[in-house]
Structure 1
């Protein structure tokens, strides 16, 4: 029994090793189906294998589905593997037919290309036909590149399939070992099932690898054909390129093509506009009937809103196609003029113009790609939404209509991207041709460098910082116009504002002096008028400069939105003080010349600006007080309604003095001072019987002004009162204290001897 098992294992291992050539071939030997293989013979073998596979699929183990559930699962798995194997074998037959057709295809000849006949046999050659030939060559080169990418992907996939086939071989050997170690009981039946399943998986992996090998051979054959075609076309281009010329007939033909293309684009544009007008009319009718209440009406409103946005994007794309068609004609005309002129400066200017147009086309293509990708994302979302909606519902129908509009938008953007790519590639070729034929002398290089620097400066000066949209109403329709804010506009507007503000500042100072000298207006009021005049003139100057530079006022909405978040927190204190300054100037609660007291500081207001107010203290030190402090804190304005200020002067006389005579003496001393107002008249109050004196209080009023210092008046009155009280014999006492000693209890005295 052991000898039989050993012999069986040897036979199975030999069979397994016999199945290795396909694996070795995939790992680096000849491909499974080489391009030189007899396709008919290989196809006959595959048809035989396919027939055998189909018979195996039909002749499934008898009664397997009616037995235990495990056998039923194995039978279903076997059926699935056989179906997949039959599909792969059928695909291999199809691919072999395609490979055979490629092998039998006639070789490429230049005479088979219509564009070659359009070039002509004798120079000068038509530049339009030569450009068409170069477009054809670029298409062939793109195909070669795509085939290279496809071959790289197939080679990577081949490594994966080779690894799968290696694992399948290992699994088949292990299954054969398990089958050899079992008998004819139930375990033997299971092992036989497993061996058959593993063998089918290995055959499937081998079929997938063989199919991939056919694909690789087919791609290599296609690439070889296209490489030969590209080489022959490249040789023809090198021959006709130096002798090409742009003729008037070329320009005429190009203009006829452009006119025909523009006519088709106008028809498409009119169709979209009619549909857009119908949607706008329906939207206005729905809006006029009030807010939507039912679900279907709300869905229709939302659809119309989205449809108008998509149709606007479609119209924008169609307008872009018209502009590109016109641009193509323009660059051909510029090239024709450059060809007819021998002026090197004009030719350099043409090259700089082509460079600028080329850069714009690159940006245009990138934008179209982004818009197309965004539309593709929206379409995927709509497809998911349509799949989840009830069939035949209104919402599903509207979603399908929106899906169709998005498909149209994607188609327009694809056309726009393709047109921009063709024009960009054409300009790239022209620029490369001109660079090859450029003047290599020192003078030519210097001129080119100068033109490049000049163009660089122009590009910087005309660099668009951002664009703003201005919406205007034209014949009842909203028309959007975009204005670009360039470096030149910004710098020019800033310089004009600085010069204008300086002139207005000089004029406002002159007007302020005229108001004071001729019209008798106070300096304080003249300063306020000047401030307000400067604010109004600055606003008017800003509006004038913006209109002069064609910068719409909507730019401030953009700037406000962009700067509010970034610098809002950093400038909140400045803005708060600025608004507070405007309120102070408008209310005039604090004016220049007022004497105020704020936070322990007292002094004259010397200037009220938009951000801070200048206060000069009585000690001569000036303080800049933020305007918000005047609104947030309690402010004492000594001269708000009038400049009269009440002062108090306390005087104590000795007990026993004549209080009436003291009162008259104090009143007369106050009345004799020039700065003390007669109205209201000075008054004296007998305020209190103090500890050491009779306390009298002198109340008097002074009018504050440039020449009046309240503390100086207080000092003068104290000198006068002291002198007159002394002359009248009225004493001003000083505090006295009596000290009483109690001698009833003796106080001990201790003498300390310094020597001890």
Structure 2
């Protein structure tokens, strides 16, 4: 008894552990985050296990058993608990689902068997291949029909391959569901084995039957998916073989296709019949539009209220007139497209009929132009179609939200019908454009593949295309200008086109003329300085002003030479006036300040100035800013207005002589007269110090640690002389002479007094002992 109790306890513990693990890992298993090896069952393969007849017989017996269980009467016991009643209803639904899947499996097996027994499709059985003929040359129209068939086969093959991918994803999901159904069945079997008592055992039995049914349903769904996958694979295999054979036939026919005049006349006849049908449709649409206009005019005469029945009808008529206009525009577009299609056939006839190279090239260029125009038209049609579809969806929502059999509901349905007519016309336009676009793309590819010219001809073609591209680029018109001139007392308006080529020529002529004038004026500046003794600053001002006048004249000359009228810039007058008034006030202020500086000559090139903390040589005085090169080599661009608005220190304004001072401290007790002579000797011996004014030495002060002597001397600044280098040389010489004379240069000395109120602790460290 104890052993049996232990066994029951162990089973319950194991069952609890399994439930806990399932609760922990089942969400991750569903989401694909955890993969457990050995749990997933093998994918069933109909072809490898048994034959189709044996499987069909097996499934038929399973279907009969399922139908027997489904048709069996449920226990007629009204005293069952609600949970048991719900479980019985779930069981009945599972049986219905299982019967449906088994019947679907039989149907799929029959379809697979029929497909396996059916002979593969023959290429010669296709009407398009039969219409092609046995011997070349082949009709281009028949080749087009064959290529349409090939495109259709390839589209079907792509659809089958996409279906296989979808089935593979569904199969993986179904495998996961079957794995969970197997786990649930094992858990229900354990619960039934551990149940004690009649009522718990009956509930466990019912739960086990439901788990078994779910497991069978999962197996049946997986089997149906597998059969469906085998069907798609077989169809795709047959379709791939047929497509490959058809592709080889198309390649062979393309090399020998021709378009005869008879074929062209047949296309002309077909296009004429199509235009006739379109004209009939246009006449009917016009009659319908006139009827709507008459009805609308009649309703407007009665001045209906918006909420009345006549007012609602009037709003419907407004939308109907808009729809009539869209239909008429669409029919006109289709008629125009028909004419374009026929023109394209004529161009194709020139290409395939073997004309000269130039004619074929022009025909191909015309086809390319038609193709680009068709792409733009198709893009517009797609946008209109999308807008119509959005209006249809919105109107369908309105119809669904209005109570039926009411005036508002009927009005909404009429509007929905009108929106559908618009969408149908847009669909018709897009379908026609797609067909023609596919034809044009094919013809362009055929022409590119059929071109087998020699290297010289290809080079000529490339050269002509490059020249044509450059010519179109050169003659591209940027804008046109109307120039009004008076001839014989009458005002004549002449339109001038400003092309890209004219603009480039004008820019190049201006750059070349500006470069030549700058070189000539540089020589003129040198000539004025050397021949007439004009200063460099004044000569630079003259050169700049002459360059400005020449640049203005050059602009006018270049514009007239390139036949660009000056009225081109008339539209910029207002913008220039505003820009001069607001945006260029600072530029003009600096420009005028630069002119004043150049003429007043208070600041000249080569002067040493100090402005706002910047000290250096003036290297250039331009119209807007003045360049100052500091002693550290950094150049600063100072606006010209700053020289007129702030204080400027010019070290070399009247002359370039500046005074420098050196302070030297000597020790107390030294002979000051001897020191004075030594300082004067050092200053006199330096080649950069001026003799007039002569250097001077002053006994300046009794300092704390030294007697202060000051050496004052003068130097003349220049581009090759730096005052700091003179100071450095004099300090070297003074230090050497004072040292030789035994005159010391003291340094600061301080006496430190310690006021100790308590004895300081003194200890000897180990390091001190070792020392």
Same fold (TM over 0.5): yes
Q: How far off is 1:454 after superposition?
A: 6.3
Q: 1:425 aligns with which of 420, 434, 438?
A: 438
Map 1:71-86 onto structure 2 (within 5 A). Answer: 71-86=84-99
Verify: 1:312 aligned to 2:297, yes or no.
Answer: no
Q: Secondary structure at the match of 1:496?
A: strand
Q: How far off is 1:250 after superposition?
A: 1.0
Map 1:134-173 onto structure 2 (within 5 A). Answer: 134-173=147-186
Q: How far off is 1:455 after superposition?
A: 6.6
Q: Secondary structure at the match of 1:107?
A: coil
Residues 335, 386 of structure 1: alpha-carbon distance in 2 compared, 3 angstrom cutoff: same
Give the Cα separation in 1 of the matches to 2:50 and 2:395: 49
Answer whether contact 2:41 2:175 (CA < 8 A) is retained: no
Q: How far off is 1:246 after superposition?
A: 0.7
Q: Deviations over 1:702-734 (max 9, x none)?
A: xxxxxxxxxxxxxxxxxxxxxxxxxxxxxxxxx
Map 1:419-498 onto structure 2 (within 5 A). Answer: 419-439=432-452, 441-453=454-466, 488=477, 491=478, 494-497=479-482
Q: Deviations over 1:111-154 (max 9, x none)?
A: 21112222222222111111111111111111111211121122
Match for residue 112 of structure 1? Answer: 125
Map 1:270-289 onto structure 2 (within 5 A). Answer: 270-289=283-302
Residues 196, 461 of structure 1: alpha-carbon distance in 2 compared, 3 angstrom cutoff: farther
Answer whether contact 2:124 2:130 (CA < 8 A) is retained: yes
Map 1:236-385 onto structure 2 (within 5 A). Answer: 236-385=249-398
Higher mean Cα deviation, 89-98 or 124-133? Answer: 89-98
Q: 1:200 aligns with which of 200, 207, 213?
A: 213
Q: How far off is 1:165 after superposition?
A: 1.5
Residues 277, 40 of structure 1: alpha-carbon distance in 2 compared, 3 angstrom cutoff: farther
Q: How far off is 1:94 after superposition?
A: 2.5
Q: Deviations over 1:365-414 (max 9, x none)?
A: 34333333333333333333222222222222233233333333333333
Map 1:573-652 onto structure 2 (within 5 A). Answer: none
How many residue pairs are counted as aligned between the two chains?
482
Give the Cα separation in 1 of the matches to 2:474 and 2:81: 85
Map 1:82-101 onto structure 2 (within 5 A). Answer: 82-101=95-114
Answer whether contact 2:351 2:364 (CA < 8 A) is retained: no
Q: How far off is 1:284 after superposition?
A: 2.4
Residues 401, 267 of structure 1: alpha-carbon distance in 2 compared, 3 angstrom cutoff: farther
Q: Secondary structure at the match of 2:120?
A: coil
Answer whether contact 1:64 1:72 (CA < 8 A) is retained: no
Verify: 1:52 aligned to 2:47, yes or no.
Answer: no
Answer whether contact 1:128 1:246 (CA < 8 A) is retained: yes
Residues 453, 192 of structure 1: alpha-carbon distance in 2 compared, 3 angstrom cutoff: farther
Give the Cα separation in 1 of the matches to 2:408 and 2:390: 20
Residues 88, 2 of structure 1: alpha-carbon distance in 2 compared, 3 angstrom cutoff: farther
Q: Deviations over 1:85-109 (max 9, x none)?
A: 2222222222223223322322221
Residues 625, 122 of structure 1: alpha-carbon distance in 2 compared, 3 angstrom cutoff: closer
Answer whether contact 2:374 2:437 (CA < 8 A) is retained: yes
Give the Cα separation in 2 of the matches to 1:457 and 1:64: 96
Give the Cα separation in 2 of the matches to 1:388 and 1:50: 45
Higher mean Cα deviation, 86-95 or 343-352? Answer: 86-95
Q: Secondary structure at the match of 1:292?
A: coil
Answer whether contact 2:131 2:142 (CA < 8 A) is retained: yes
Verify: 1:187 aligned to 2:200, yes or no.
Answer: yes
Q: How far off is 1:37 after superposition?
A: 6.1
Q: Deviations over 1:212-250 (max 9, x none)?
A: 112211111111111111111112122222221111221
The gaps in structure 2 that reach 5 residues or longer are: 16-35, 498-571, 584-771
Answer whether contact 1:88 1:208 (CA < 8 A) is retained: yes
Residues 245, 209 of structure 1: alpha-carbon distance in 2 compared, 3 angstrom cutoff: same
Match for residue 42 of structure 1? Answer: 55
Q: 2:404 aligns with which of 361, 379, 391?
A: 391
Q: Deviations over 1:283-336 (max 9, x none)?
A: 222223224243433332222222332333333333333333332222111111
Residues 73, 275 of structure 1: alpha-carbon distance in 2 compared, 3 angstrom cutoff: farther
Q: Secondary structure at the match of 1:401?
A: helix
Give the Cα separation in 1 of the matches to 2:94 and 2:11: 27
Residues 612, 130 of structure 1: alpha-carbon distance in 2 compared, 3 angstrom cutoff: closer
The gaps in structure 1 that reach 5 residues or longer are: 13-22, 463-486, 512-536, 547-608, 615-622, 627-756
Q: 1:229 aligns with which of 242, 245, 252?
A: 242
Higher mean Cα deviation, 251-260 or 121-130? Answer: 251-260
CA RMSD of aligned residues (A): 4.0
Give the Cα separation in 2 of the matches to 1:459 and 1:34: 67
Residues 249, 441 of structure 1: alpha-carbon distance in 2 compared, 3 angstrom cutoff: closer
Match for residue 737 of structure 1? Answer: none
Q: Deviations over 1:616-665 (max 9, x none)?
A: xxxxxxx9699xxxxxxxxxxxxxxxxxxxxxxxxxxxxxxxxxxxxxxx
Residues 174, 25 of structure 1: alpha-carbon distance in 2 compared, 3 angstrom cutoff: closer
Residues 259, 59 of structure 1: alpha-carbon distance in 2 compared, 3 angstrom cutoff: same
Answer whether contact 1:612 1:624 (CA < 8 A) is retained: no
Verify: 1:103 aligned to 2:107, yes or no.
Answer: no
Residues 71, 394 of structure 1: alpha-carbon distance in 2 compared, 3 angstrom cutoff: same
Give the Cα separation in 2 of the matches to 1:83 and 1:541: 90
Give the Cα separation in 2 of the matches to 1:359 and 1:36: 57
Residues 127, 177 of structure 1: alpha-carbon distance in 2 compared, 3 angstrom cutoff: same
Give the Cα separation in 2 of the matches to 1:401 and 1:357: 39
Answer whether contact 2:141 2:263 (CA < 8 A) is retained: yes
The TM-score with structure 1 as length reference comes to 0.57
Answer whether contact 1:162 1:209 (CA < 8 A) is retained: yes
Q: Deviations over 1:565-609 (max 9, x none)?
A: xxxxxxxxxxxxxxxxxxxxxxxxxxxxxxxxxxxxxxxxxxxx9
Residues 319, 75 of structure 1: alpha-carbon distance in 2 compared, 3 angstrom cutoff: farther
Answer whether contact 1:334 1:350 (CA < 8 A) is retained: yes
Match for residue 136 of structure 2? Answer: 123
The TM-score with structure 2 as length reference comes to 0.56
Answer whether contact 1:27 1:162 (CA < 8 A) is retained: yes
Give the Cα separation in 2 of the matches to 1:114 and 1:610: 73
Give the Cα separation in 2 of the matches to 1:307 and 1:330: 35
Answer whether contact 2:40 2:179 (CA < 8 A) is retained: no
Give the Cα separation in 2 of the matches to 1:86 and 1:117: 47
